[in-house]
Amino acid sequence: LYQDARSRHALDALKKLTEPLTQVIRDGQHQTIPSSELVPGDIFIVEEGNLIPADGTILQANDCSVNESILTGESFTVTKSVSDNDERNDELY
């Protein structure tokens, strides 16, 4: 019983240690939260090399390209930007 409790405690600590974090702007404040706590309406910040934690629309970008190979099978990155037309090149998945 004691060993089982210690093992569960150690596994919980490892889960917290490896949980992906996301930088968000929530209520006008820059915060770092676990990705599992993202809610609709959060503005998340993605930097070079980061994983995209959720689907979203680009509000501001500077030379943004995304690897969508897991969704589309394309081997090249897709350039994304803020778009004013019907092309919908401003969505992140």
pLDDT of residue 68: 85
Task: Give the integer Cα–Cα distance in Å for 46 and 72.
Answer: 21
Q: Give per-residue pLDDT as tens, 73-90.
A: 888 888 888 877 666 778
pTM of the model: 0.68
Ranges under pLDDT 70 in the chain: 85-87
How many beta carbons lie within 10 A of that of residue 53, not counting itself? 20
**Structural contact between residues 92 and 56, judged by C-beta atoms closer than 8 angstroms:** yes
Q: What is the dihedral of CA 40, 22, 28, 54, to 10 degrees?
A: -20
With tokens 């995304």, the residue in question is 66
Residues in the chain: 93
